[in-house]
């Protein structure tokens, strides 16, 4: 059995970003592999320009997610008049300026969010003895070098992310063994080759890996999706 780290993603608003089209920022049902990679790297204080380190971390990650509460989707209409001298907050803890020309008209866009979502993530790292180790990741999440968010800067977690450890043969089994605080039937997604459901699941190809050197997403990754069922607890 392999040791898996359990993380809970819960916030008033969550954004598992998908393929943005023009001014529309859509979301996925499950967190992207690149999002988890970026969150862990941010906790460890890595610079995004260190693409090799990000790529190695992403390649080592085996991640699955269980929707303990899928919540509901909302769309936020955003508008802002941006000027050349405007400044904004960053996770680096310092002010960032635009350094460009002013827009002649307001910037309009739509952003989708998950509201009331509660997600359990199970993950492990291949080549477990290499650095960073899973223990390094857990310590960083408890004492992050920079503020953490779930998809977008406005999506701040409501509680501690680290939920403990679990030993399992694969990622799916880790999600099955972890206690569920809500419901008895929950959708889940996990990597191809990391278990299968007796009741059936389906194969899905997702484009959620980022090339951290070029800064773009590309390629397809095989995952499986299905419904994990627990016995209903009687009061």
Which residues 6+ apart lie within 8 Å of 104 measured at CB? none
SS3 212: coil
Which segments within 58-106 are labelled E, that is strand? 61-69, 72-80, 87-88, 96-97
CA-based angle 33:35:41, to the nearest 5? 105
pLDDT band for position 206 (50/70/90)? Answer: very high
The percentage of the chain sitting over the pLDDT mark of 90, rounded to a whole number, equals: 68
Domains of the chain: 2-76+112-229 (3.30.70.2660)
Residue 100 has pLDDT above 70, yes or no: no
Of all helices (H) and strands (E), which one includes residue 60?
helix 51-60
pLDDT average, residue stretch 129-133: 93
Q: 172 has which bridge partners?
A: none
pLDDT of residue 235: 41
pLDDT average, residue stretch 124-142: 96
Instruction: Tell me the whole-structure pTM to 2 decimals.
Output: 0.87
pLDDT of residue 80: 75
Instruction: Write the DSSP assignment of 129-171 as a string of letters.
Output: TSSSPHHHHHHHHHS-SS---SSSTT---SS-SEEEEEEESSH
Query: Which residue shows structure tokens 């459901």?
Result: 197
| 166-170, 181-185, 209-213: least confident range | 181-185
The percentage of the chain sitting over the pLDDT mark of 70, rounded to a whole number, equals: 88
Neighbour-count burial of 175, counting CB atoms closer than 10 A to its CB (0-12 exposed, 13-18 middle, 19+ buried):
buried
What is the distance of C-alpha 102 from the center of its chain? 33
Which residues 6+ apart lie within 8 Å of 94 measured at CB? none
Retrieve residue 52's tokens: 């090799």
67 vs 19: which has the higher pLDDT: 67
pLDDT of residue 21: 73
Contact 226, 68 (CB under 8 A): no
pLDDT average, residue stretch 150-178: 96
SS3 2: strand
Contact 134, 174 (CB under 8 A): no
pLDDT of residue 113: 95
Residue 231 has pLDDT above 80, yes or no: no
182 vs 203: which has the higher pLDDT: 203
Residue 234 has pLDDT above 50, yes or no: no
Distance CA 109, CA 215 (A): 22
pLDDT average, residue stretch 105-122: 90
């Amino acid at each position: 059995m392999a040791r898996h780290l359990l993380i809970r993603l819960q916030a008033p608003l969550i954004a598992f970003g998908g393929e943005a089209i023009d001014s529309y920022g859509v979301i996925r049902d499950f967190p992207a592999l690149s999002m988890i990679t970026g969150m862990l790297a941010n906790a460890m204080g890595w610079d995004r320009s260190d693409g090799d380190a990000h790529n190695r971390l992403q390649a080592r990650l085996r991640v699955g997610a269980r929707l303990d509460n899928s919540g509901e989707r909302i769309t936020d209409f955003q508008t802002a008049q941006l000027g050349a001298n405007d400044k904004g907050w960053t996770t680096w803890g310092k002010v960032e300026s635009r350094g460009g020309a002013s827009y002649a008209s307001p910037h309009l866009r739509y952003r989708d969010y998950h509201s009331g979502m509660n997600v359990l993530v199970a993950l492990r790292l291949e080549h477990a003895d290499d650095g960073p180790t899973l223990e390094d990741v857990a310590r960083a999440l408890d004492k992050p070098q920079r503020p953490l968010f779930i998809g977008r800067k406005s999506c701040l977690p409501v509680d501690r992310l680290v939920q403990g450890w679990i030993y399992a043969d694969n990622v799916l089994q880790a999600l099955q063994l972890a206690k569920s605080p809500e419901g008895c039937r929950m959708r889940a997604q996990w990597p191809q080759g990391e278990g299968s459901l007796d009741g059936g699941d389906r194969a899905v190809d997702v484009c959620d890996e980022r090339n951290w050197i070029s800064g773009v997403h590309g390629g397809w990754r095989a995952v499986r999706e299905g419904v994990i069922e627990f016995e209903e607890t009687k009061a």
